[in-house]
Amino acid sequence: MSCPHRAVLIITREVQHTATSLARKRIELQCHMPGGHTGPHRDETLGETWQDRGEELTHLLRSEKDT
């Protein structure tokens, strides 16, 4: 059985001359590790890893300048 954990990665961008960030892209991630694994979750297709926060769906924010 595969891991049921998923994440939504939201890539944000800054609006010039303001303190505002806007969502630019939303990516859905699915852990491809076996169920009950230890360590971070991993979406093999997109090469992304994340730590869950005790829930099956985790929301992650990343600035586009960090990508």
In tens digits, what is the pLDDT along the chain, a chain of 67 residues? 789 999 999 999 988 898 888 889 999 999 999 999 999 999 999 999 999 877 889 999 998 877 6
> 41, 32 in Cβ contact below 8 A?
no
pTM over 0.75: yes
Residue 64 dihedral angles phi and psi, to the nearest 5°: -65, -25
Residues with Cβ within 8 Å of 26's Cβ and at least 6 positions away in sequence, in order, are 8, 9, 10, 11
2: DSSP letter: B
Q: How many CA atoms lie within 13 A of 57 on its CB side?
A: 3
Domain coordinates of the chain in residue numbers? 6-66
